Structure 1
Amino acid sequence: MPRVLTARAVADLVAPALAAESSGPAYGRLTEALRHLIADGRLPEGSRLPSERDLPGPLGLSRTTVTRAYTELRAQGYLHTRRGSGSVVQVPDVPGGRIDHLLTPSALSDGAIDLTCTAAGAPGGTSEAYGQALEELGAYLPGTGYYPGGLPVLREVVAERFTARGLATTPDQVIVAPGALAGVAIAARALLAPRGRVLVETPTYPNAIATLEGAGARTVAHPIEHAHDDWDVAGLGRTLRQSGARVAYLIPDFHNPTGALMPAGQRAEIGRMLRAAGVVPIIDESIVDLPLDGQVVPEPLGRHVPDAITVGSVSKSLWGGLRVGWLRVPRGRAADMAASRLKLDLGVPVLEQLVAARMLQAAPEILPQQQARLRAGRDVLLAGLREHLPDWRVRVRAAAWRCGAPCRARDRPRWRPRRGPMMSRSPPAPTSPRAAGSTAGSDCPTCSATTSSSRSHRGSRKPGPTCWQAGSALAGKTGADFSRSSPASSPDQPPTERHQWLPQPPPSAASGCPSPHRAPPVVVSCQTGLTR
């Protein structure tokens, strides 16, 4: 049954737009206001609007005005009216659907739910930001339209946000790029010699690995297991000394895919270690604006490493369709980064930069709504897991959900205390978890990593991200850590029960990464499930 929206609730939503000065007719302003509310989800698809008789009173408009507005919305495809059922909100179809064919499986069975790309839609206020940006666009039309470094207005906003978080930044230190992943590519090409080594955490964001390798880098894995949201600082130091890596790719803020948040004390410690080793970190802050449960995010890791390159974007926190990201670069590397930027393309579209600037300026109003929306979606997902997968162990954690499902249906789980099963092709031996950690390694069939079957691919030659990757915004970016488990005879004994794993999608499926050799399982982990 459709959700019924009260006349008062709808009137409160459209009141700001109706109160704004405009020379257009009242029905036109009402039509535009309702269309914006439908487009950004504040009037949900499938909900029923108040009748043409009930809405005029709270709005202070005539019934004729409301009727004309509803007629316009029906003609535009935003409203469907059926006798006896009222006027129901709908979103017009778009050619080819709302997910690009490169991000979807080549074939899905009837009734299957596609989780390969489950990014959230645009938040409330997006349509208004586009309208404001269109008004500003005219001033830029006489120019060439090429801004490879980024519009000054956007760079100023980004610099102010860095400064407000404790990392003093000026606009000349900001370079705008088409997404955070493009920022990683720009930084890698500027910092790395051919076949240069880059330390990456494992698991990590798989598209970042592909980007680094595409820049000619050799990745060096540093296994992490965030049981308590902390980093293995000593292990990181050993890996840096032994590997000879001169660059490191790190995600300290709601790590992808584990969701861990690096504590302030460890940021200072890791900063000292990186400085001492002469390693330049590429710090990915794509998800820093999504503390779903009100966590206080520590000061940026870049504050502890003056030579750090920090990348970010609006794709996770606002909308992926903007394709706007940035790099924050030290002044001593600005020239090299600018040269690398020019080799990528000649800039992000002017309109989208203006929209991003507007939305970042309105972030104090937009982000709480977006976080609440994602948090509600997470709760829906968790409720579904409890109902339909009662044998899965669930732990809510900040801005992320992750799962211990194996890479392929044939893979066998290796029991680990408190955490999800590890990936291993052979069944676990009846030994203690400590002894099991020394079993022979196996090749991960999805990410081609040679693992030691011990803690999180410890000892792997290459990182294995997609064992843990997935699309989580099924319910809008969750906040859970969940893994399948079966009863064990004692805390030191592995489970003897076998599990029925969820099916594997076709090899062409990838969560935000159409690379066919890195296809994730149907449901595995992801930091917040948004693709970059």
Structure 2
Amino acid sequence: MGSRLVEQLGAHHVAGATATALADQIRALILDGRLTVGERLPSERSLALELRRSRSTITRAYGLLEADGYVSRVHGGSTRVTLPHAHAAPGTDAEDGAIDLSIASMDSTPGLYDATVRSLPRLAALRGTSGYSLRGLPELRDAVAQRFTERGAPTSADEIIITSGALNAVNLILAAIGRRGERALVEQPTFPHALEALHRHGYRPVPTPVDVDGWDTRHLTETLLSTRPHMAYLIPDFHNPTGATLGDEDRARVTATARNVGTHLIVDETTTELDIDRGWAPAPMAASGPNVITVGSMSKIAWGGMRIGWIRAERPLIARLLAVRPSFELGTALLEQCIAVELLSDMSALTAHVRDRLREGRAAVEAGVTAIPGFVVPRTPGGLSAWVDIGSPSSTALSLAARERGLILPPGPRFTTGGVLERRLRIPITLPPERTAEAMGRLSQAWQDVRGGTASRAEELRHAAVI
């Protein structure tokens, strides 16, 4: 099995690359989080063998990274990822006006303050309890279950656990039923932090393609049948980052196939309520079979600062999750749960706010991106972002150039396994229009730098990671 570095690089992308270009590619992996601080990189000899390059080329590349502060090397020992300790270059620090497009999230709903005030008597009534909430407040579990039922998946409160966000929910599931060394089917592209969670729990990812036009359902089901993965992680509604939605018939087919081969389906519904003008609403995948484990959260419909999520699963699995949970946390904060009860009591107001904000953000992104020659914005009926085709495999180079323009923009490969999809960028539609317009102006300038060959090289990027 090859190293994780080469998997992230994509060996075909660095074939014939100079030492400087190879160092740039590794630096890009560090800058957007695909390689983590402290991670051990392959030795010079083993990396040279994997990439079929001379050892002197690898030595030179590692030397450039070390000089810039991106790796530390011990003679005769290991090479590990680090970050530069100097101050950030002008224009790249958030306080100096950088625009961060790595986070696709809106500011809080206008009703958050009033919901917080209304929640205080509920919180006060809990002062006589221990304050720990392993399963979650009954009222909140009722509200979440009711929403599933309204959408077509009859659910009771004892099939719900409240968590500290959707990613926390995924990690709890993996801690309870994960198996190191097993395969996990993942969409390509997908949510990067879910990939990281699967990797941390020892899974081997098996990708299946998704694009703005949707899934290759035949590939997905045939992959399930041929590889029989222990786990599959899917985002069927307003897929992050493509914005696609899986149809009802395909949902039933995928669920049935996974059930037949014994695959646990983790279905991420974090983006489900982010409808702008899709025009139809599929039933939850949870309605299709007992092997579906659904996670969701309040972060995209209310505010990212509200760390409230949930898991919907069959009762035996709920019991297993509750048995494991105390090993790393004792429940979810009560104040946030009380606020969530109030917010979920008026979903129509929440979704109306989301729809208006996303429509404005989409229009601003479309206006800015279509002004850049060669860029194509797909139809985006909802979700967090536009999955933009930039017309050439230059996403990583553009991401690096954008940092020099004060724009933090993860490249397409950040959302993949194997360093692919260099023609793509995920651009959030969640920022206010005026902020988006400024971001698109910087993106256009960065693209001119890339196309004109003036994008900064390694020597000029040494402080770009400290943001």
| Residues 339/381 of structure 1: CA separation in 2 closer, same or farther (3 Å cut) | same
* Cα 1:385/1:149, change in 2 over 3 Å: same
In 1, distance between residues paired with 2:464 and 2:156?
41
Counterpart residue number, 1:289: 273
1:136 is the counterpart of 2:93? no
User: Does the aligned pair in 2 maintain the 1:381–1:474 contact within 8 Å?
Assistant: no
Instruction: Give the equivalent residue in structure 1 for 2:389.
Output: 404
Residue 407 of structure 2 is matched in structure 1 by none
User: Which amino acid letter does the alignment assign opposite residue 151 of structure 1?
Assistant: L
Distance 1:450 1:124, change over 3 A: closer
Q: Does 1:197 align with 2:154?
A: no
Match of 1:374 in 2: 358
Distance 1:449 1:117, change over 3 A: closer
Distance of 1:219 and 1:508 partners within structure 2: 32
Residue 211 of structure 2 aligns to a residue whose secondary structure is coil
Name 1:155's counterpart in structure 2.
141
2:247 is aligned to 263
Amino acid at match of 1:274: A
Question: Secondary structure at 1:335's aligned position in 2?
Answer: helix
1:329 aligned to 2:316? Answer: no
Q: In the TM superposition, what is the alpha-carbon distance from 1:377 to its structure 2 partner?
A: 2.2
The equivalences for 1:15-94 within 5 A come to: none
Q: Deviations over 1:262-304 (max 9, x none)?
A: 1111111112211211111000000110111153220011211
Paired letter, 1:233 = T
Which of 346, 365, 380 does residue 330 from structure 2 map onto?
A: 346
375, 378, 388: which one aligns with 1:392: 375
Shift of 1:475: 3.9
Give the one of 425, 431, 444 matched to 1:474.
431
Residue identity matched to 2:193: N
Given that 1:133 and 1:358 are in contact with CA atoms closer than 8 Å, whether structure 2 keeps it comes out as yes
Q: Distance in 2 between matches of 1:473 and 1:209?
A: 23
Q: Which amino acid letter does the alignment assign opposite residue 182 of structure 2?
A: G
1:338 positional shift: 1.3
Q: 1:291 to 1:410 in 2, by over 3 A?
A: closer
Decide which of 280, 287, 290 is 1:306's aligned counterpart: 290
Mapped contact 1:282–1:310 kept (Cα < 8 A):
yes
Q: In structure 1, how many angstroms separate the alpha carbons of the residues matched to 2:90 and 2:377?
A: 28
The one-letter code matched in structure 2 to 1:408 is: T
Instruction: Give the distance between the partners of 2:463 and 2:162, measured in 1 at CA.
Output: 31
For the pair 1:216 / 2:173, whether they are aligned, the reply is: no
Render the CA deviation track for 1:18-54: whole Å, top value 9, x for unaligned: xxxxxxxxxxxxxxxxxxxxxxxxxxxxxxxxxxxxx
Q: CA deviation at 1:213?
A: 1.5
- More contact order relative to length (CA 8 Å, sep ≥ 6): 2
Question: Cα offset for 1:251?
Answer: 0.5
1:183 paired to 2:166 = no
When the two structures are superposed, what TM-score results if normalisation uses the length of structure 2? 0.67
TM-score, reference length from structure 1: 0.59
Q: Contact 1:149 / 1:175 at 8 angstroms: preserved in 2? A: yes
Shift, 1:360, TM fit? 0.9
Q: Report if aligned partners of 2:274, 2:355 keep a CA contact under 8 Å in 1.
A: yes
**What CA RMSD, in Å, does the superposition of the two structures yield over aligned residues?**
3.3
Preserved contact between residue 361 and residue 429 of structure 2 (Cα < 8 Å): no
For structure 1, the residue ranges without an aligned partner over 5 or more in a row are: 1-104, 412-422, 425-443, 458-465, 483-497, 511-515, 520-532
- Per-residue deviation at 1:385? 2.8
SS of residue paired to 2:172:
helix
Change (3 A) 1:151 1:500: farther
SS of alignment partner, residue 143 of structure 2: helix
Structure 1 residues 409 and 122, CA gap change in structure 2 (3 angstroms): same
Secondary structure in 1 matching 2:250: helix
| 1:390-422 residue CA offsets vs partner (Å, 9 max, x unmatched) | 5422333211411234442189xxxxxxxxxxx
Cα 1:165–1:118 shift into 2, 3 Å = closer
- Note the C-alpha offset of 1:107: 4.8
Aligned to 2:220: 236
Residues 425-436 of structure 1 aligned to structure 2 (within 5 Å): none
CA contact (8 A) 2:109 2:350 kept: yes
What SS class does the counterpart of residue 110 from structure 2 fall into? coil
Hey, what's the Cα distance between the residues in 2 that align with 1:502 and 1:147?
Answer: 55
Aligned residues of 1:248 and 1:279 also touching (Cα < 8 A): yes
**1:459-470 matches, cutoff 5 A:** 468-469=425-426
Q: Is the 8 A contact 1:204 1:257 kept in 2?
A: yes
**Residue of structure 2 in register with 1:251 after alignment:** 235
User: What residue in structure 2 maps to residue 358 of structure 1?
Assistant: 342
- Pair 1:125 & 2:111 matched: yes
Gaps of 5+ in 2: 1-86, 400-410, 441-449
